């Protein structure tokens, strides 16, 4: 066994680099790196008694400018395959926050749900105490179920990883992660199995972290956070990193120490420990390099034109999450839509999607979604024959909401401009209303991925009443991009962005069966009377596939019968009653902030007489502001 023969109180990982690797670092940084002259550039090692472990010691780190960002040398070490592949940060959260995380983990331990850790050999997973002596529990993917202190820790780690994703896209780090709380438990039974002699000496043998139970994924980045406030070198338990030239580096598991390393090639082991050793580990995942094409979701076709990214003012707030509601009825565009949604987000890790799948191959399609997007997608499956229209499907997706900050409702056939998430949050905050909703009928794209370069805004306007007495609306293109969100008086079901409180205040009702065009009428009047105001984004954010030639609609696959016609008539009558101010269903009732009469006066539309004022045809704007040569059939 080898160990470092020198004390390194003032050294950094850069001091361990070879001259050739140091030149790569300097080339990446664009400047010369000044090393500590009191420390040799290359670590020396010496043979020791194989039965003895090297003394544990503190690992020095470089000075840090921000808890939430990796510095250039750290990024270089994590992305370059010829580097050691790991970095260490001591005092990551600070004394108070670190103590809170430890206390939260003590509560988790008392829950009694920890189990013996397993190791994998071929297709067999089992508990092998001489190889691995810890007990563990997996933390829930829903961070709202986590203690506040642990949630805060994971957010801080996420900020570091987000920076690495942007700086090193070649690593392929996805918005999929899992987190484990583990204790190498002080147990005499473990000791006898591990060492064959008395004492408390649990460990985890040399290994890499590439194993994954997630289909089609592998661990890409390991983030270890230690939770041991009174650690002493005599306790052992250091994490030993095996460098590629045979040297080793020991990291003591001291409270508030964070260790990040590549899961794919950094060999490491937990040295024997004589006391309980606590740690939280988060793994981020990527696709295996040799994954077959058959296991991948249908790839996104390349766009015919490169869309200009949306301009945003501020860095994304990592604690502001977005829940995206998607109802998909036998739609082959669902997977490309979600792929584009995540790929174009400024911060994809804060995007969580709830999908109501009404597909013939629900199980297969659900597996593909989970494989592609992991815990960031939640799925409710329904048989297409059980579908009753968009209202029930959107109600089902709202049941998948888990407390995210914002709510985005879209259709399952959409495309997005880059940075759409940050842009929508910024624009929502600019709306001059207490309870705003950004909503419109977007411009269209064509299959397979022909997205227009036109980024001008569209505004919802009245177009007429149909044969059932329901108001129809359309999207009209304005001549110029605006400087701020545009007030309007209509609401679109296929694109609506707001605070997530709307799910609790004005939820969908599951009982409006076989209703399509009445969905927007009923939701608009309910939202407005609850105090919500509507705005169009100042420029194009998303694009919609208006052609239905690639997919059936629920009316095509659901056999017409007397019962269906009866339910459809009942739903239509409930909507018409609602538009006249009659509340027949408390679950989908009007609000009390403003009246239905106020709504009609503001819109310039009269439901009973089916009259539309001139101003409603242009959403209260001058017709000269619109490009009348552009399509106005977005309806």
Contacts for 20 with CB less than 8 Å, ≥ 6 apart: none
* Phi-psi label, residue 464: left if phi above 0, alpha if psi -120 to 50, beta otherwise: left
DSSP state of 236: B
Element (H, E) at 177: strand 177-184
**Residue 212, number of CB atoms within 10 A of its CB:** 19
Query: Between β-strands 611-612 and 605-606, what pairing exists: parallel, antiparallel or unpaired?
Result: antiparallel
What is the token pair recorded at 449?
Answer: 């991925």
Residues in the chain: 635
The per-residue pLDDT for 514 is 80
Q: Are 420 and 541 in contact (CB under 8 A)?
A: yes
Residues 6+ apart with CB under 8 A from 453: 305, 307, 308
Per-residue model confidence (pLDDT) at position 138: 84
Task: Output DSSP code: residue 33.
Answer: P
Residue in the structure block whose two tokens are 């968009």: 390
DSSP string, 41-69: SS--EEE--TTSPPPP--------S-TTS
**Integer Cα distance of 290 and 172 in angstroms:** 13
- According to DSSP, residue 613 is labeled -
Q: Cα–Cα distance between 529 and 436 in angstroms, integer?
A: 13
Burial of 114 (0-12, 13-18, 19+ CB in 10 A): middle
The full DSSP string for 548-607 is -TTS--HHHHSPP-HHHHHHHHHHHHHHHHHHTT----GGG---SSS-HHHHHHHHTEET
The pTM (predicted TM-score) of the whole model is 0.56
Place of tokens 């006249």: 580
**What residue ranges define each of the domains in the chain, with the CATH number in brackets?**
2-286 (2.60.120.620), 322-625 (3.90.550.10)
pLDDT at position 58: 36
- Helix, strand, or coil (residue 582): coil
State the burial class of residue 475 (Cβ atoms within 10 Å of its Cβ: 0-12, 13-18, 19+): buried
- Rounded to the nearest angstrom, the gap between the alpha carbon of residue 416 and the centroid of all alpha carbons in its chain is 16
d(CA 276, CA 187): 9
Beta partners for 527?
A: none
pLDDT mean for each 10 residues of the chain (635 residues)? 38 52 54 50 34 37 56 88 91 94 91 60 36 68 82 90 82 82 59 36 73 69 94 89 87 95 90 88 78 38 70 80 97 95 95 95 89 94 90 95 98 97 97 98 92 95 90 94 96 98 94 81 95 98 89 60 82 88 81 94 92 92 87 53
Question: How far is the C-alpha of 72 from the C-alpha of 76, rounded, in Å?
Answer: 6
């Amino acid at each position: 066994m080898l160990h470092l023969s020198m004390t390194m109180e003032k050294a950094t990982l850069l001091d361990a680099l070879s001259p050739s690797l140091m030149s790569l670092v300097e080339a990446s940084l664009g400047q010369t790196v000044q090393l500590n002259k009191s420390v040799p550039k290359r670590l020396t090692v010496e043979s020791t008694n194989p039965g003895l472990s090297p003394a544990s010691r503190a690992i020095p780190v470089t000075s840090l400018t921000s808890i939430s960002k990796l510095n250039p040398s750290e990024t270089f070490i994590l992305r370059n395959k010829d580097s050691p592949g790991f970095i260490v940060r001591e005092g990551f959260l600070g004394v108070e926050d670190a103590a809170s995380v430890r206390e939260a983990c003590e509560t988790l331990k008392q829950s009694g749900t920890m189990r013996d850790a397993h190791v994998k050999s071929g297709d067999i997973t089992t508990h092998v105490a001489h190889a691995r002596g810890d007990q563990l529990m997996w933390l829930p993917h829903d961070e709202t179920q986590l203690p506040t202190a642990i949630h805060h820790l994971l957010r801080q780690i996420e900020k570091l990883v987000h920076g690495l994703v942007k700086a090193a896209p070649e690593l392929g780090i996805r918005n999929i992660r899992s987190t484990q709380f583990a204790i190498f438990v002080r147990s005499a039974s473990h000791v006898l199995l591990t060492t064959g002699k008395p004492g408390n000496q649990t460990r985890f043998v040399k290994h890499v972290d590439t194993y994954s139970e997630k289909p089609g994924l592998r661990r890409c980045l390991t983030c270890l956070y230690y939770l041991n406030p009174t650690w002493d070198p005599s306790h052992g338990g250091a994490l030993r990193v095996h460098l590629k030239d045979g040297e080793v580096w020991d990291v003591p598991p001291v409270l508030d120490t964070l260790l990040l390393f590549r899961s794919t090639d950094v060999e490491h082991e937990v040295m024997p420990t004589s006391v309980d050793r606590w740690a939280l580990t988060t793994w981020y995942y990527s696709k295996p390099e040799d994954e077959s094409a058959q296991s991948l979701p249908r790839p996104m076709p390349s766009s015919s034109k490169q869309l200009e990214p949306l301009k945003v003012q501020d860095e994304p707030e990592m604690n502001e999450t977005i829940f995206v509601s998607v109802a998909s009825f036998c739609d082959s565009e669902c997977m490309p839509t979600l792929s584009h949604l995540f790929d174009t987000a400024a911060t994809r890790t804060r995007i969580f999607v709830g999908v109501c799948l009404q597909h013939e191959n629900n199980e297969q399609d659900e597996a593909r979604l989970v494989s592609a997007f992991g815990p960031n997608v939640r799925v409710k499956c329904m048989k297409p024959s059980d579908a009753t229209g968009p209202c029930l499907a959107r109600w089902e997706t709202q049941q998948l909401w888990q407390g995210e900050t914002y709510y985005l409702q879209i259709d399952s056939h959409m495309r997005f401009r880059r940075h759409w998430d940050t842009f929508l949050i910024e624009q929502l905050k600019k709306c001059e209303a207490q309870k705003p909703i950004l909503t419109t009928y977007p411009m269209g794209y064509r299959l397979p991925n022909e997205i227009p370069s036109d980024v001008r805004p569209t505004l919802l306007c009245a177009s007429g009443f149909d044969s059932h007495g329901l108001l129809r609306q359309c999207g009209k293109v304005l001549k110029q991009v605006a400087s701020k969100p545009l007030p309007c008086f209509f609401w679109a079901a296929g694109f609506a962005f707001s605070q997530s409180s709307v799910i609790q205040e004005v939820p969908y009702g599951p009982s409006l069966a076989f209703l399509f065009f009445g969905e927007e009428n009923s939701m608009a009047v309910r939202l407005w009377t609850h105090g919500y105001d509507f705005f169009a984004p100042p420029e194009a954010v998303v694009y919609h596939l208006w052609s239905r030639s690639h997919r059936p609609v629920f009316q095509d696959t659901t056999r017409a019968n007397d019962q269906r016609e009866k339910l459809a008539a009942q739903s239509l009558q409930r909507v018409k009653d609602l538009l006249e101010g009659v509340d027949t269903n408390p679950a989908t009732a009007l609000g009390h902030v403003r009246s239905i009469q106020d709504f009609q006066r503001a819109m310039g539309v009269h439901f009973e007489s089916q009259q539309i004022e001139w101003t409603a045809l242009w959403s209260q704007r001058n017709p000269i502001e619109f490009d009348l040569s552009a399509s106005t059939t977005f309806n």
